[in-house]
């Protein structure tokens, strides 16, 4: 196994981490926690032998991740053919500054999932998925919005990938230098990085009298 | 062209943005500014028909981007064959909360570059590239570190991609709702997101007397 955690997602030839395997996690708890902290994923797919990597917002429900976009987008039109994809989420947690360039690194949490993306066709399923997306981003906001029209649902493609062939990788903590290098007069440590939310900026065309809703305080990223 | 900016990077079938083409930029200034603000890229490559998307640190010099890693890593071993790759950087700038789910979006700056990755083999060129990387992350730190040994250089693979087939995409500003929806009693606007640096955490095994260097204040991300 090369890991100390339980393998909810049994490693395959693709998902098994071969190098630095102490960073690998195959357990559901770690994978879900990383996925639930992120907001942007990078989806990899292949057209005519050329790989494409498209950043997009995603969300998780149970053992599925979802993303969406315009039905006219290149990525989403391509995914209707159920090609194999790679779904990657990476959260940067800090710059690891070692006493040598060689051992300098980045603290991060990442998830990589492989499989065939499935397009959700049915309007009610799409609506439910889009509601779940908004609830992930701003809990409580969906019921306050204009409900999606059938035309909007048609113009939106929702894609889902089952979490089956999945691996998480985590690096945390201080640098790991060569034993003799700890005697050097070089500062070493971690500069933490995180995503922060700024003060909400109201639309300049906001209807007078509409106030900033309390639910914005419930946004959680990172 | 579908864009108002000069095309330093002439759009190709792959790099031309077809939908929402007002978000596309093909000019060097925009592309460089985004690349110089980011730290993590996502590299897409294909092995046996399966796409892989690997997050890793990168840096830019002139019209090249670089990334590196262990010579033993799957990605870097694979890239020695000069396959086609997709190099993507995405910086999230805010949650765009519209009056409908349909028009809700994300503010972001992204760059996508296509081409054949080239592995840097020569030790001096590798050393220079790694110095440039550290100078990108913490300006002034490299000369204070233990210089890389030949063995470390051998164990490190540095990869470069020329910026030729490149497109940037930028979304900024408030939501764009349906004209009739501005009359709704729904708050709309942007919740800005940014990456912030925390207080440096010294290595618990730091040599007594070594202080936090001034150059950490020169780190710029985002």
Q: What is the pLDDT of residue A60?
A: 97
- Does the CB of A173 have a partner CB in chain B at under 8 Å? no
Q: What is the pLDDT of residue A208?
A: 97
Instruction: Find the range with the poorest average confidence among A79-93, A178-192, B7-21.
Output: B7-21
How large is the average pLDDT for residues B113-137? 94
Who among B92, B114, B141 is closest to A40 (CB)? B92
Structure tokens given for B63: 């019209």
B155: alpha, beta or left? (left if phi > 0; alpha if psi -120 to 50):
alpha
Residue of B nearest to A219 (CA): B191
Sorting pLDDT into bands at 50, 70 and 90, what band is A5? low
- Does the CB of B222 have a partner CB in chain A at under 8 Å? no
Residues of chain A neighbouring B99 (CB-CB closer than 8 A)? 145-146
Q: What is the pLDDT of residue A71?
A: 86
CB contact under 8 A, B191 and A197: yes
Sorting pLDDT into bands at 50, 70 and 90, what band is A2? very low
Residues 6+ apart with CB under 8 A from B33: none
Q: What is the pLDDT of residue A3?
A: 46
- Does the CB of B123 have a partner CB in chain A at under 8 Å? no
- Does the CB of B53 have a partner CB in chain A at under 8 Å? yes
CB contact under 8 A, A146 and B212: no
How large is the average pLDDT for residues B132-144? 96
Q: What is the pLDDT of residue B2?
A: 43
How large is the average pLDDT for residues B48-66? 96
pLDDT tens per residue across span A122-136: 999 999 999 999 999
CB contact under 8 A, A210 and B99: no
Residue of B nearest to A202 (CA): B189
pTM for the structure as a whole: 0.95
Residues of chain B neighbouring A146 (CB-CB closer than 8 A)? 99-100, 181, 184, 186
Which of B97, B211, B214 to mutate to probe the A interface, most A CBs <10 Å? B97
CB contact under 8 A, A202 and B186: no
Residue of B nearest to A46 (CA): B51
Who among B145, B174, B200 is closest to A189 (CB)? B200
How large is the average pLDDT for residues B115-125? 93
H or E, element range at A136 = helix A123-137
- Does the CB of B67 have a partner CB in chain A at under 8 Å? no
How large is the average pLDDT for residues A12-30? 90
Q: What is the pLDDT of residue B3?
A: 46
Who among B55, B186, B198 is closest to A145 (CB)? B186
CB contact under 8 A, B199 and A206: no
Residues of chain A neighbouring B222 (CB-CB closer than 8 A)? none
Yes or no: say if B24 and B17 are a contact pair by the CB < 8 Å rule.
yes
CB contact under 8 A, A193 and B190: no
Residue of A nearest to B15 (CA): A52
- Does the CB of B125 have a partner CB in chain A at under 8 Å? no
A50 vs B84: CA distance, rounded Å: 6
Q: What is the ipTM of this complex?
A: 0.94
Q: What is the pLDDT of residue A72?
A: 85
Return the bridge partners of B116, or none: B84
H or E, element range at A194 = strand A189-197
B162 vs B66: CA distance, rounded Å: 9
A70 vs A72: CA distance, rounded Å: 5
CB contact under 8 A, B84 and A133: no
Q: Are strands B64-70 and B156-162 parallel, antiparallel or unpaired?
A: antiparallel
Q: What is the pLDDT of residue B62?
A: 96
Q: What is the pLDDT of residue B1?
A: 41
CB contact under 8 A, B152 and A100: yes
Kindly tell me the burial class for residue A208, based on how many C-beta atoms sit within 10 Å of its own C-beta (0-12, 13-18, 19 or more).
exposed
CB contact under 8 A, A43 and B53: yes
Average pLDDT of the residues of chain B:
94
- Does the CB of A71 have a partner CB in chain B at under 8 Å? no
């Amino acid at each position: 196994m090369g890991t100390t955690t339980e393998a909810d997602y049994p490693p395959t030839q693709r998902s098994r981490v071969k190098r630095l395997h102490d960073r690998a996690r195959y357990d559901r708890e770690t994978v879900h926690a990383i996925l639930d902290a992120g907001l942007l994923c990078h989806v990899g797919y292949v057209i005519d032998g050329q790989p494409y990597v498209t950043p997009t917002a995603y969300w998780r429900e149970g053992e599925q991740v979802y993303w969406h976009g315009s039905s006219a987008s290149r990525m989403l039109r391509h995914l209707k053919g159920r090609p194999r994809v790679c779904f990657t989420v990476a959260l940067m947690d800090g710059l690891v500054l070692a006493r040598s360039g060689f051992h300098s690194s980045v603290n991060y949490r990442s998830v990589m999932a492989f499989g065939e993306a499935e397009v959700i066709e049915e309007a009610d399923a799409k609506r439910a998925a889009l509601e779940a997306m908004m609830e992930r981003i701003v809990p409580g906001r969906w019921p306050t919005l204009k409900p999606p029209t059938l035309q909007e649902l048609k113009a939106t493609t929702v894609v889902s990938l089952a979490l089956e062939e999945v691996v998480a990788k985590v690096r945390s903590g201080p640098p790991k230098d060569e034993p003799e290098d700890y005697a050097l007069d070089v500062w070493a440590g971690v500069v933490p990085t995180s995503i922060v939310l700024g003060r909400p900026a109201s639309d300049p065309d906001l209807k007078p009298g509409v106030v900033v809703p309390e639910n914005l305080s419930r946004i959680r990223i990172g």
